[in-house]
Homo-oligomer: A and B are copies of this chain.
Amino acid sequence: MKLNNRQQAILRAVIDDYIETAEPVGSKNLVSRHAFPVSSATVRNEMAELEEQGYLEQKHTSAGRIPSDKGYRTYVDNLLRASELTPEEQEQIQGYLSECIDEVSDLIRRASTVLSEQTGYTSLVLTPQLRRSQLKQLKMLMIEPGRALVVVVLEAGVVKDRLVRIPSMIDSSQLMQIANAIEDSLTGMKLDDITLVTVTSAGRKTELPDSLLNQVLYEAYVAIKQADNLEVYMEGAHKMLSYPEFQNIDKAKDYYNMLSRDGIIAGYMNELSEERRQEKIVADAESETQDEQFERAEILDDTEGSLGGQVMKKRPAYMVRIGQEISLEGLSDCSLVTTSYRIGDTVVGNMGVIGPRRMEYGKVISNISYIKTALDAEIRKIASVRAESEDQH
């Protein structure tokens, strides 16, 4: 199972080349392109060994090799050289995000756009999951007799609203009375814990007649619940058509069919993120004081190679799913790189990049990591207005 340094170097070179050209990589070409200090015959032997061990595949005997899922996995986990964005790129992302308005949803949309533009693949950003957020305020604003706007304010200044129909006999002061009653009772509760019953019993304190109350309370409840609706911002889906792996129309169709059911992908990403949260809890419990730096395999100077070694690695902030590791039909020729973003101190949302399995992992990872950080910071800015002003208050 372990690879010596030369094998690692060859594996990396094969994958680098394949990512660049999308063509099976042969030994001769590999040697000349990378100026290896050995002959093609040697490389050939090593490549046969790598195939034996499942890192590479061959379409047919006389073709070059292409990486397998396992090969990519090793590449991503151990062989990838960390790369930083150029200052220009950083500035561009930063500029695009911070030019932003005060709505978290706008920020998210922009994050999605910039993520796709920077990487050249399809980006997905999910709206925050706010089930565990506390209700901070609930306002109702009379738009006209018979219609009102329910405004739900959550932790960290997230605001959601919804236009509802109400009995037309209700006047603004009654409406405000109801809103205040709900707010008084429910402020501080988590969205998950708010039910139609809690809302109703809060509203009844107004002692207004049921004929006025019932509909309003129901609508208020729905408005609160829908604050947690999962939405997906997707950008750059069409870019995939340029990549050679999607020249085959059926591949492209599978891909688009899957993407068009964006709820499924969103659900999947949330699942992944949840799994990871669990793992983290376990890991933290097991090794409380571990805090090593993420250590990358240094191939050329390290004799044994770190692949089989016992070095603990810091978990990176992103997750990579490669090919068949994605358990969604139609995406098995793709890879998915995901990360999360926060509002306040809690992970609330997920974002990701979907591209061909042959994606530029380095570029994607550095971009998504940077954008995650930038997004977190921007969200914190919005939230900090609130924090400051609460202090003053």
Contacts and interface: CB of A to CB of B under 8 A. Distances in A.
Contacts of A165: 102, 385
Nearest to A248: B249
B389 A146 contact: yes
Contacts of A345: none
A144 B149 contact: no
B157 A147 contact: yes
Contacts of A388: 146, 168
A147 B388 CA distance: 12
A101 B141 CA distance: 17
A137 B144 CA distance: 9
Interface stretch (A16-24, A255-263, A264-272, A360-368): A255-263
Contact of A249 (B101, B137, B241): B241
A108 interface: no
B157 A153 contact: no
Given A139-B141, A143-B137, A149 B164 contact: no
B146 A159 contact: no
A386 B146 CA distance: 7
Interface string A212-247: 000000000000000000000000111001100011
Contacts of A257: 238
A191 interface: no
14 contacts: A101-B163, A102-B163, A103-B162, A141-B141, A143-B159, A145-B390, A147-B385, A147-B386, A161-B161, A165-B385, A168-B385, A237-B256, A238-B259, A242-B253
Interface of A: 101-103, 136-137, 139, 141, 143-147, 149, 151, 153, 157, 159, 161-165, 168, 236-238, 241-242, 246-247, 249, 252-253, 256-257, 259-260, 385-386, 388-390, 392-393
Given A103-B163, A141-B151, A241-B253, 10 more contacts: A143-B159, A145-B393, A147-B385, A149-B151, A161-B161, A168-B388, A237-B260, A238-B257, A238-B259, A241-B256
